[in-house]
Amino acid sequence: MNTVDSTHSRLVLRPGDAGYEDELAGFQTGFTQRPAVVFAAAGADDVVAAVRHAAAAGLPVGVQATGHGLPGDSQGGVLVTTRRMAGVTVDARARTARVEAGVRWADVIAAAGPSGLAPLNGSAPGVGAVSYTLGGGLGILAREFGYAADHVGSLDVVTGDGRLRRVTRASDPGLYWALLGGGHRLGIVTALETELVPVTRLYGGSLSFDGSEVDPASALRAYEHWTRTVPDGLTSSFAAVPYPDVPGVPPRLRGRYAVSVRVAHPGPAAEGEQLVAPLREIGPALTDSLREMPYSESHTIHGDPDFPHTYYGDNAVLRELDVDAVAALLALTGPRAPVMCVVQINHLGGALARPAPNSVPHRAGRFLVRLLAMADRTRARALLDPAFALLEPWTTGRMRNFAFGAGDRPDGLYDPGTRERLAGLKSVYDPANLFGGA
């Protein structure tokens, strides 16, 4: 039966308990675990108790990140869920927000908006703000402002010794550096304070083309050329999606192979319209949602699905975008692929290339290629491995945030120097390796 600690109202669940299965449910339905015990944390004290319990029992401990996150390495061990830690506090004068571990970006956008501010969130409002930021945080305004991790003032984290620490760049420069980019492998972050930006409106949306009418490779070539002309303040991505012919898909896209360019520009709408004008020359638009919008509608730019499903994904950071190689990748992953595969190519550079006091790697990359297969690990890798092999000559590494289920493959996540420094700090803050490999 489930246990509630009467002193701290701490909910602890074990296999067979009522609520155990519901507590494990997440956005990625293809990756589940069976921890021996689940601590349903309502606050930092519960996280401390979970880590101390794991240390005393010699068990691994993971965290079920809110939103799209996968559980940590907790098979047969201890799992901490954070969905109940949902506090958001905005300091409008300081332009900061304090967010707890269970907060989703939609909550921060709603809290910051009345003050004329916005967070550096990603494309999907249901993503957990803390886990996103710990992995770097490549957002919809990334080329203007950089990674979300570059804007963090402090973090509250429970380390392997069961101690709750307030970490800043001044107080703990090594741990601060490691957590922002190194993710949760050095502890469990219970809250962080992040800067907000004075953005209330933007020009953005998606311009899509029918892949049967507009050659995807030609559209990609036009996009790559266009990215060489735009200012740092414009963030964009190219996507190729073979939409299934099923209810729930917008009628204009149902059963079509759509290639799209997504755009976000925090400048004037007239300037944004002028900047995207060359994209309209690619061909007749299948859909066109480019417009000025309040920041609260920024999630409509990508229109990410908001329902749980099975998927597996990986990525490659590229020093250059070889159009011929990526065109071959599009042919491999398109409508004739054995499983549905979504391709997204993010234009990097701008503020993303600036150095920062954190461990977010691969800042010299010009593009990020992301592949998302709607399949289990085995079937997905059978498609993704040969696809990424096409990009190998231009690949400099991988981003942890977009290794959806592939985060257990450490190769390429960090350059050798960063990896060595992370390992050294892990030996200090998690010598028993409670949180798994760095």
What's at 206, amino acid-wise? S
Per the prediction, the chain carries an average pLDDT of 92
Strand, helix or coil at 334? coil
**Is the pLDDT score of 73 beyond 70?**
no
Residue in 70, 196, 230, 27 with CA at minimum distance from that of residue 121: 196
What is the rounded distance in angstroms from the CA atom of residue 202 to the CA atom of residue 162?
A: 43
How confident is residue 409, by pLDDT bands cut at 50, 70 and 90? confident
Residue in 121, 83, 86, 68 with CA at minimum distance from that of residue 308: 68
Residue 29 tokens, joined: 């339905």
**Is the pLDDT score of 413 beyond 80?**
yes
Check residue 6 and give its pLDDT: 33
Rounded average pLDDT over 72-99: 91
The H-or-E segment that residue 51 falls in is helix 44-57
Residue 200 tokens, joined: 């209330």
**Is the pLDDT score of 416 beyond 70?**
yes
The percent of residues above 70 in pLDDT, for the chain, comes to 94
Q: For residue 251, what are the contacts with CB-CB under 8 A and spacing of at least 6?
A: none
Task: Decide: residue 5, CB within 10 A, 0-12 exposed, 13-18 middle, 19+ buried.
Answer: exposed
The H-or-E segment that residue 221 falls in is helix 216-227
The two beta strands, 235-242 and 257-265, are antiparallel
How confident is residue 71, by pLDDT bands cut at 50, 70 and 90? low
Region of 136 (left: φ > 0; alpha: ψ -120 to 50; beta: rest) is left
**Is the pLDDT score of 235 beyond 60?**
yes
**Is the pLDDT score of 205 beyond 90?**
yes
Alpha-carbon Rg for the chain, nearest whole angstrom, is 21
Residues 110, 290 contacting (CB under 8 angstroms): no
Rounded average pLDDT over 383-394: 97
- Compute the C-alpha angle 314/428/399, nearest 5°: 15
In the sheet where 37-40 sits, what is the strand order?
Answer: 3-5, 10-13, 37-40, 78-81, 61-64
- DSSP-H helix ranges across 301-361: 323-333
- Compute the C-alpha angle 188/190/191, nearest 5°: 130
The percent of residues above 90 in pLDDT, for the chain, comes to 80
Residue in 109, 159, 103 with CA at minimum distance from that of residue 132: 103
**Is the pLDDT score of 329 beyond 80?**
yes
Check residue 161 and give its pLDDT: 94
Catalogue the E-assigned strands of 142-245.
Answer: 152-158, 164-168, 188-195, 201-210, 235-242
**Which is more confidently placed, 253 or 143?**
143
Check residue 9 and give its pLDDT: 52
**Is the pLDDT score of 5 beyond 50?**
no
**Which is more confidently placed, 83 or 309?**
83
What is the rounded distance in angstroms from the CA atom of residue 198 to the CA atom of residue 60?
A: 41
What's at 46, amino acid-wise? D
Rounded average pLDDT over 181-197: 92
SS3 content of the chain, % helix, strand, coil (to 5): 30, 25, 45
Residue in 14, 17, 16, 38 with CA at minimum distance from that of residue 26: 38
Check residue 69 and give its pLDDT: 65
Following CA atoms 278, 283, 288, 293 in sequence, which dihedral angle do they give, to the nearest 10 degrees?
0
Residue 212 tokens, joined: 């049967």
What's at 79, amino acid-wise? L
* Structure confidence by residue, pLDDT tens digits, 108-166: 999 999 999 999 999 988 899 999 999 999 999 999 999 999 999 999 999 999 999 99
- Any idea which residue has 């970006």 for tokens? 105
The two beta strands, 96-100 and 88-91, are antiparallel
What is the rounded distance in angstroms from the CA atom of residue 121 to the CA atom of residue 137?
A: 7
What is the rounded distance in angstroms from the CA atom of residue 143 to the CA atom of residue 166?
A: 29
The two beta strands, 78-81 and 367-373, are unpaired
